[in-house]
Amino acid sequence: MGKIQALSYFVVQSTDLSAWQKFGEQMLGTQVLPAPGGGLYLKLDERAYRIAVVAGSEDRYLASGWELPDQAAFDSAVAAIHAAGIETTPADAATLAARQLRGLASFVDPSGNRHELAWGSTAEITPFKSPLGALKFKTGKFGVGHTVLPALNFDATLKFFRDVLGFGLSDIFNFQPGPDAPVMRIYFMHAASGRHHSLALAEMPSASGCVHVMLEVEDRAEIARAEVRREQQGVKLMATLGQHENDKMTSFYMMTPGNFALEYGWGGIEVDPASWQTTQTQQVSIWGHDFSVGFR
Ligand SMILES: [Fe+2]
């Protein structure tokens, strides 16, 4: 089976599109354009969008979009999902037009997270120009970034992504928030393109549908610039600047208008899916990343 390449895009639902317009243009540094048929496209690179914002009754994360290289790989992924006993729903014409794809099938994983399998972008390729100047995101074959999803049905969800969809296990972290707290597993998984993780499964609930997403910039100085913007714009800090042990990402975390956190990072490592040996992280971060600020 052709493998999933990367987290191509994600979809959020919003009660207030103007909040995402402002957050995209002024905080993240993406271009923001009206999407055909309604909603917004947040453009991070030459593709029409990497974040799709749709209007709805809640502010939340809606779906993760996984890219396959061609129709044969798409068809075999859909067949593998069916064989595992999970239904897929082919997109209707309106959704295909909204996502600008040739093929799309949605499904729900064993923990209840919604996903879209995608292939064949029909979007026009146009240059990216950040409204904040020279800023560039690390995307391309690595996709939009990574997503960390709640996975309370942990074992079945892990097995599904590893055995059915072909993700590799990059790193295992057994997170114990306090000395007497129960351990929560967070497993970090890579797709074929080799970003250290495109997906992480976290054994914790999340009312907004996502623990956090990560966008990566190409220049380390942009992290400091972004932290200044965050403070000026009054965007809530969820974790202070720090560097992760497992993917070496230097980043900070902030709240999005979707009620989930966004990690704004630089310098994450890549893995070679053919030879990578799963690691086991002992700590979240080498330095920094005080998550208590987000829960004060
Ligand atoms: Fe992350």
For 271, the domain range is: 140-295
Which residue among 121, 148, 181 closes a domain?
A: 121
Quick one: 76 and 193 in the same domain? no
Query: 90, 121, 152 — which closes off a domain?
Result: 121
Q: Does residue 266 sit in the same domain as residue 151?
A: yes
DSSP-H helix ranges across the chain: 17-22, 71-83, 93-99, 154-159, 221-233
The whole-number pLDDT of residue 2 equals: 62
3 Cα–ligand 1 center, Å: 22
Domain end point (choices 70, 91, 121) = 121
pLDDT tens-digit profile of 235-284?
Answer: 999 999 999 999 999 999 999 999 999 999 999 999 999 999 999 998 99
The pLDDT score that the predictor gives to residue 178 is: 79
Distance 214 CA to ligand 1 centre (A): 5
Q: Does 147 share its domain with 280?
A: yes
For residue 26, the model assigns a pLDDT of 98
CA dist 91 and 86 (Å) reads 16
Query: Is 21 part of a structural domain of the chain?
Result: yes
Distance 22 CA to ligand 1 centre (A): 23
Domain shared by 62 and 199, yes or no: no
Residues 94 and 223 in one domain: no
Question: What pTM did the predictor assign?
Answer: 0.97
Question: What letter would DSSP give residue 277?
Answer: P
CA of residue 249 to ligand 1 center, whole Å:
8
Q: How far is CA 152 from the centre of its chain?
A: 18
Residues 154 and 257 placed together within one structural domain of the fold: yes
Low-confidence ranges of the chain (pLDDT < 70): 1-2, 296
The total number of structural domains in the chain stands at: 2
Whether 129 is covered by a domain: the verdict is no
Q: From the CA of 57, how far away is ligand 1's center (Å)?
A: 27
